Structure formats: structure tokens, C-alpha cells
Amino acid sequence: MPQVKIIAKNFMDMVASLPAIKLDILYHNQFICEAILRSMPPLAKKYVLQMLYIDVPMTFKSLQEWVLADGSSKHQVAIDRLIQLRVLEVIDRKKETTYKLKPTFQTNLRKHLIYGGILSREPMPSNVVARLPTLEELDAYAHEQWECFLLQLISSGQAERSSSFSSSMMRIFQRGLLRQRDKEAPRLTESGFQFLLMDTNAQLWYIIREYISNSEEQGVDQADLIAFLLELSFHTTGEAYNLNTLADDQEAMIKDLADLGLVKLQQGRRERWFIPTKLATNLSVSLTDSSSRKQGFVVVETNFRMYAYSSSKLHCEILRLFSRVEYQLPNLIVGAITKESLYNAFENGITAEQIITFLQQNAHPRVAEKLPSVPENVTDQIRLWETDLNRVEMTPAHFYDEFSSRDIFESASDFARVHGGLLWEDAKKMQMAVKAEIHMLMREHLRGNK
Amino acid sequence: MASAPSKLYADDVSLVVVLLDTNPFFWSSSSLSFLQFLSHVLSFLNSILTLNQLNQVVVIATGYNSCDYIFDSSLDLKRSLENGRMPVMCSSLLQKLEEFSFKDEQLSKEEPEGRIKCSLLSGSLSMALCYIQRVFRSGALHPHPRVPIDSCYMGAQNSAFLQQASYITGGVHHKPQNLDGLFQYLMTIFAADLHSRSFLHLPKPVGVDFRASCFCHKNTIDMGYICSVCLSIFCKHHKKCSTCGSVFGQAQSEAASASDKKRKTPET
């Protein structure tokens, strides 16, 4: 099966790819330092804090002493990440390389830890702001906006209302996720299927990444947008912030963010404000976080029947990807996981692991407490059905026949074996199959022998 | 004297319960003033909250007469998740600490004199462990959480109790040499989340003192008397067990000579 994977890379990869000058400007903001610190692997976070008050450069060896032998690979990953984000500066000396924290980052993080950070934006006083939505209402709103957007993304006909994103913007989001042939309805690509099965945070990062990459073409500075988004994640969920505290390009962005469900726009008699939702405040959290998981809704039984307590069209579409939906009641979707439906999914590029992960992550609270949340016989069978399609493995090869003498045959087969390319041989008939990769080498070897 | 943090595990997320020793008898004679100590600790707490959005910090003050919670980062002040901001955290923590010290001092006036000037560490440890149990029972993720107890010890002597506690629970025990750099010690040794600890080079216990301490004087002893009901240890013979109240019989030597007369074959 083709293993196409869209890895919704952490936002930080995008940050890391900014030019050095812009990154330096970003690091002047304490909150961005904090967001970047939080995005690092755990060991890297530790190293930053340990080196926070060390002003002398440290040698590679002394850094290695911090970690045990078991952790040397994690150590390397952490160091690489720090260098990639330009948090750690490499000073090449003649004897050995030394490392030092980037001064801007260091100073600002120190200030942040000792004095704490204060947002430049204050929430509006409650007497000016009319009835604010409760946290539950806000969550529901965010969820609804996001689902609507997703539905429109994958099939514009299904959405109840269209977002204010221009059609060109939607096309950019759909790039890579949908494929359209002439006179046909757009179909999801393999990446599109995988996108749907990812969890909300990962999907959000993907969309935001596309949005920001596109903004450069529209003349808006990427670094500014990134800084604004990161700052947004430190605002308080549910509090109102005045729109007049935003710069022009930030105000333009706010409207788009409202469509995605990151903020809610409201207006009073004289003022207009925005309220960050949980989707926004969870932006600075890493992709593996579990708090962003919404409540699960799927129950899978050992007889392969599936009950999904949801009324969302999006959920129905997702379940249709790999199961046979049988009934749809006002609050319940009943279906079954069958061989045909799974084969259908596999053909579309979805892997068994993705399906199983989706079922596990969205397990209904009643079954989520049990281990395993999805019955083992179901998960095993899904994997078996996947391997069914992989029964035959194909390797490009060349077939050699009619060797003039046994010696040449044997030297050729030894040669192939040494190079790890011997797939099959029959000593009696003096025939062998050799991997295509070493075909050229074999030819030279055989020519040399003559 | 010491501050012992206890931690919980879920990926990189930590719940750190810090037990701060506020015993005035110790702090009045310590080289590091309590204020300076607090500034190091507050920065340490802030760092833990910065590392991960889901990290939680709880501070329990271990006093001379009482123990109490003085800070819990999960309690919303303004229906927000981000209330661990330094200025807010500082002021509420310091205020509660002041109230606590005042109350603790008041309780001293009612106490009879002559008590050993030690902090109620066992009380605050129990409070910490109960809190952790409650969190886990509502989380339903790990039924038996692993709670290592780290101890950071300041002071002249060594604490066998803390060494043993850290060793048995898999935590780290350390006595910082240079108290000016306390923050660096706290960051390097005590701020590691549970998962990373298996990869990091942390101070290992060298020669933990495993001897028991007697319940009456808190001295470490090698030989002593044990109550057969509750297993409390005493260094000298008592008529009654101070923990469970069971009455002890005569001392071993007297009892043997008494039963000798009854037995046919005398036992030595």
C-alpha cells in the first residue's frame, strides 16, 4: 500500500524555517519564547532551563555528560532541535564546537521566569461587555465553526452555510486534499482521507500552516502572523478583547480565524471585541496533547458492529470512509465494520493503524475507561485484512540463465549474495534471480570473469 | 530544612506538590534567608508551569504546629487556565503564606514547652499523597500512580528519613552545596519530568542510612524494642505503646525467670 503521509508538522517547523533576522525579532517577545520552549521535546526543554543562567559556552562533551547512555539518541534529537530553532548557537572553535543559548532568547526567558509575562492586551471590563457566552457555549460555537469549515472543505455541497473564505482560499486549503477531474465531483485524495482521520489540533495546524504560507503572497508578513497566533494562544479563554487593540493585518486575520472557530466576534453598542476559544488557547500545546480531545462517541462491539452517538454530518462522512453505515437516527449512527468497507478504505490509502487510532481516540467515555477501548479481535482483524492485500511483495529483479560453466555460476551467485541482491537461485539448472539494483554490477562482474 | 516535591506522570505533564518547610526555628539560624529562598522557589515553580501548559503545581507549607495548602495552580482565579502568570501567582502565594505563618505562630502559644523543634513533615506528606490520590481517582488514567519523592535538603546534618523516602520511592535526594545557586540546583535536578528522568544523569544515593529511628527521641538506633501490635520502635522499655496504646508485659529478662519456675525443662 502506498504510504503517503501528511505529517501536520508542528507549527514550530515553520517558525524554524523563518530567516534568522525575523526569528530574532520574534524572540524579543516573552510569550513567543515560552511557546517555543513548550513545543520542544522534553529533554530540550530541560537543557534550555539548565543553561539559562550559564553565560560561558559549553562544550559538546559537557552537554553529553548530562544524559545517560540510554538517552543518547534523544539527546541528539534535542540538540538538533535546539539548533534548528536557533535557540542554541554553535560556536566553532579550533579544538571543539561549543554551544551557547541565543542571548535574546536567554534574556527574555529569564525575565519571563522571574517576573512573569504580562500580555499587552487587557480583557475588557465586564460593564462594557454585554452578556458573554459561557465556556460551554463557546466550546460548542468553536466546534460548530470548525466542523462547518471541514465539511465545506471536503464537499462544498454538504455544508449548511459557507464561510467567508474566498473560493481561492478554499482551493488553496483543498490543494493536496482533494482532486478534481473535469465534470466530476471533487474526490478526496489519500492525503485527504488521512487528514480527516487526524485529531483536531493536527488538522488545525495544517490549515494554519497553509494559511500562513499563502499570506506571504498576499503581502502580509509571515513573522507578524506567526507572532500574533502565538500571542493569541496565551490569551484567556472566554474573555473579551477589544478589536481596536489589533493592527490592520491582525484585524484582517481575525475574521478568518473566526470562521475557523478560533475566536468569536461580538459587538456591543460602541465596541467590538473578540473572544478566544479553546481552539486558540490550545495552539501552543504540542500535537501529542490529550486535553484537546473532544468527547468520544464511538462504541465498537466484538461482533464488529459500531454505534456512534453523534448527529454530526462530518462524523458520518468519516465513518463512511471505512465502515458500512446502516442506520442513521437523530442521535445515533449504526454501522458495521466489514471486509468490503475496509478494503474500500485501504484502496483509498488509509492504513489500518489510522483507523484503529481513530476508533481508540474517539471511543465513547463508557468504553474508553476499559482496556482495550476497542475490542482486540476487531483491531487484530483490521490489521489482518490489511496484510491480506499485502500478500504478494514485488521486487524488481533480473533473471540470469544459461551460464557457460558451474564456476561462473557459483562466482556470480556468491557475488550477488555478498552484495545482498540474491533473491533466488537454482543450482541444478544454473539459474538465478538478482535484484535489479545490482544488475549493472553483476554485468560488470560477469564481463570481468570472461 | 528541606522542601520535598512529589511528582506524577503522564508523558511530559507533571503534577508537582512542593512541601515547603517554614519552621521558624530553622530559618532564623540559616545562612540563606527565607526571603531569598522563596525567590528561588517561586522562580522554580514558575519554570515548571512554563514547561507545559498542563503542568500543575501545589504548595503545602510545613509548619511547626500545622500544615496547610498555600497554592494550587489549578484553581481558577478568573475562569482562565493561564492564571499561573507570575505576578498573580506570587501575590496570592505570599499572602497565604503570611496568613499561615501567623496562624502557626498563634498555635505555638497554646503548646506546652519542651517539644522538639521539628516540622510536621509527615503531616504535610500525608496531605500531599491524599491530594494526589484524589486527582488520580478523578482522572481515571493511572490507578496506581508512581509518586517519587524528591528531597532538597538544606542544613547542617543529614536527614535519614528523607534519604530513605527518596530512595524507596525512586526520587532524588540532594543537599545543595552552594545555596546562592539554589535555583540552578532546582532547575537541573528537580525540574525533570518523570519520563525524562530515566535518561538524565541525576545524583545517585550514596550510602543511604537505612537505620530505623526510635519513636520517642527520633534517634537512629540499631537495637531496640518493638510493639508487637503496631510495630512502633522504641529505644528503651516503655510500659505502654505511645502509638496504639497496647500495654506491654514485663521486660524480657523478668518474664523468663518467672516462667522458669513453671516449666519442667528450663529454657536458656
Q: Report whether the peptide linkage leading into residue A372 is cis, meaning its omega lies within 30 degrees of zero.
A: yes
Contact call for residues A154 and A177 (beta carbons, < 8 A): yes
Measured CA to CA, the distance from residue A230 to residue A129 in angstroms comes to 25
Q: Which amino acid is at B107?
A: L
* pLDDT of A320 above 80: yes
CB contact B259 to A (< 8 Å)? no
Residue B169 phi/psi, 5-degree rounding, is -90, 0
Comparing A123 with B221, which gets the higher pLDDT?
Answer: B221
Q: How far apart are CA A211 and CA A381, in angstroms?
A: 39
Closest CA to A146 of A127, A173, A168: A173
Using CA coordinates, name the residue in chain A closest to B76: A236
pLDDT at position A382 is 94
Task: Using pLDDT thresholds of 50, 70 and 90, give the confidence band for residue B5.
Answer: low
pLDDT of residue A308: 94
pLDDT tens digits along A6-65: 444 556 677 777 788 888 888 888 888 888 888 788 888 888 988 888 888 888 888 888
pLDDT value at A192 more than 90: no
Nearest to A70 among B80, B89, B199 (CB): B199
This prediction has a pTM of: 0.70
Element (H, E) at A286: none
Q: Which residues of A touch B201 (CB under 8 A)?
A: 65-68
Given 3.50.50.60, 3.40.50.410, 3.40.1260.10, 3.40.50.150, which CATH number is that of B15-147? 3.40.50.410
Q: Which of B196, B197, B198, B202 to mutate against chain A (most A CBs within 10 Å)?
A: B196
> How much of chain A exceeds pLDDT 90, in percent?
10
Å between A295 CA and nearest CA of chain B: 14
pLDDT of residue B144: 64
What is the greatest pairwise CA distance in chain B? 81
Which residues of chain B neighbour A49 with C-beta distances below 8 Å?
47, 51, 187, 191
Q: With 0-12 CB in 10 A as exposed, 13-18 as middle and 19+ as buried, what is B19?
A: buried
pLDDT grade for B56, boundaries at 50, 70 and 90 = confident
Report the residue of B53, B80, B82 to disrupt the A interface, i.e. the one with the largest count of A CBs within 10 Å: B53
List pLDDT tens digits, range A398-420. Answer: 898 888 888 888 888 888 888 88
Which chain B residues are within 8 Å of A118, Cβ to Cβ?
Answer: 85, 87
- The residue in chain A having the minimum alpha-carbon distance to the alpha carbon of residue B82 is A236
Q: Is B75 exposed, middle or buried (0-12, 13-18, 19+ CB in 10 A)?
A: exposed
Strands, sheet with A422-426, edge to edge from the N-terminal-most edge strand = A397-400, A431-435, A422-426
* Mean of pLDDT values over A150-173: 67
pLDDT digit string, tens, across residues B111-144: 666 666 778 888 899 999 898 888 777 665 555 6
Q: Choose, out of B51, B77, B137, B194, the residue to mutate when testing the contact with A (most A CBs < 10 Å).
A: B51
The answer to whether the CB atoms of A49 and B187 lie below 8 A apart is: yes
pLDDT at residue A199 in the model: 72
Cβ pair A284:B52 closer than 8 A:
no
The DSSP secondary-structure symbol of A176 reads T
Contact with chain A for residue B160, Cβ under 8 A: no
Which residues in B lie closer than 8 A to residue A281 (C-beta atoms)? Answer: 81-82
Residues 132-151 (A) with a CB less than 8 A from some CB of B: 135
Return the higher-pLDDT residue of B210 and A304. A304
Q: Where in chain A is the domain with CATH 1.10.10.10?
A: 11-115
Q: Which residues neighbour B76 within 8 Å (Cβ) at sequence distance 6 or greater?
A: B83
pLDDT tens digits along A195-231: 777 777 778 877 887 888 777 777 777 778 888 887 8
> Which residues of chain A make contact with B90, given a CB cutoff of 8 A?
116
Interval B173-200 mean pLDDT: 86
Report the C-alpha gap between A408 and A430 in whole angstroms: 10
> How many contacts (CB atoms, under 8 Å) link A and B?
96
Indicate yes or no: CB of A68 within 8 angstroms of CB of B195.
no
pLDDT at residue A378, as a whole number? 94
pLDDT of residue A307: 95
Residue whose entry in the numeric block shows the C-alpha cell 507549527: A11
Whether the Cβ atoms of residue A278 and residue A139 lie closer than 8 Å to each other: yes
Q: Cβ A68–B12 below 8 Å, yes or no?
A: no
Q: Which residue of A has its CA nearest to B186?
A: A50
Residue A78 has pLDDT above 80, yes or no: yes
Q: Does A65 touch chain B (CB under 8 A)?
A: yes
Predicted pLDDT at B237: 84
Check residue A241 and give its pLDDT.
83
Q: How far is B178 from chain A (nearest CA, A)?
A: 15
Least Cα separation, residue B77 to chain A (angstroms): 11
Residue in B closest to A45 by C-alpha: B51
pLDDT at A16: 76
Q: Is B198 on the interface with A (CB under 8 A)?
A: yes
Kindly indicate the confidence band of residue A4, based on its pLDDT and cuts at 50, 70 and 90: very low
What's the confidence (pLDDT) of residue A253? 81
Determine the pLDDT at residue A250: 80
Give the closest-approach CA distance of A54 to chain B in angstroms. 9
Check whether A319 has a pLDDT greater than 50.
yes
Distance separating alpha carbons of residues A411 and A450, to the nearest angstrom: 12
Over residues B133-158, mean pLDDT:
76
Domain boundaries, chain B: 15-147, 212-249
Query: A327 pLDDT band (50/70/90 cuts)?
Result: very high
Question: Å from B53 to nearest chain A CA?
Answer: 7
Residues of B in contact with A70 (CB under 8 A): 198-199
pLDDT value of position A153 = 77
Residue A375: what residue type? P
Note the pLDDT tens digit of each residue in A249-305. 788 788 888 888 888 888 777 778 888 888 887 776 643 343 344 678 899 999 999
Check pLDDT > 90 for residue A332: yes
Residues of B in contact with A116 (CB under 8 A): 46, 85-90
Q: Which of A174-183, A233-242, B224-233 has the lowest mean pLDDT?
A: A174-183
% pLDDT > 70, chain A: 88
Min Cα distance A260 → chain B (Å) is: 22
3.90.1150.10, 3.30.1490.20, 3.30.70.2610, 3.40.50.10860: CATH of A397-449:
3.30.70.2610
Give residue-wise pLDDT tens across range A338-385. 999 999 888 887 888 888 988 988 889 888 887 788 999 999 999 999
pLDDT value at residue B79: 31
- In a mutagenesis test of the B interface, which of A61, A109, A113, A231 is the best target, namely the one with the most B β-carbons within 10 Å? A113
pLDDT at residue A429 in the model = 86
Q: What average pLDDT is seen over chain A?
A: 80
Given this model, what pLDDT does residue A7 score?
46
Within an 8 Å CB–CB cutoff, is residue A367 touching chain B?
Answer: no
Q: B200 vs A66: CB contact, 8 Å cut-off?
A: yes
Residue range(s) occupied by CATH 3.30.70.2610 in chain A: 397-449
Is the minimum CB–CB distance between A75 and chain B shorter than 8 Å? yes
- The listed CATH number (1.10.132.50, 1.10.10.10, 3.40.50.300, 3.30.1110.20) that belongs to domain A11-115: 1.10.10.10
- CB–CB contact A116 B200 (8 Å): no
Confidence (pLDDT) at B115: 67
pLDDT at residue B214 is higher than 60: yes
Query: Which is more confident, B52 or B127?
Result: B127
Answer yes or no: is pLDDT of A164 > 70: no
Rounded distance, CA A449 to CA A409, Å? 11
Please give the pLDDT value at position B252: 61
Average pLDDT across chain B, whole number: 78
Distance from CA of A137 to the nearest CA of B (A): 14
pLDDT surpassing 50 at residue A444 = yes
Residue for cell digits 501567623? B102
What pLDDT, in 10s, does the model give residues B173-186?
888 888 888 888 88
Examine the pLDDT at B268 and tell me if it is beyond 60. no
For residue A257, the number of C-alpha atoms closer than 13 Å in the C-beta half-sphere is 28
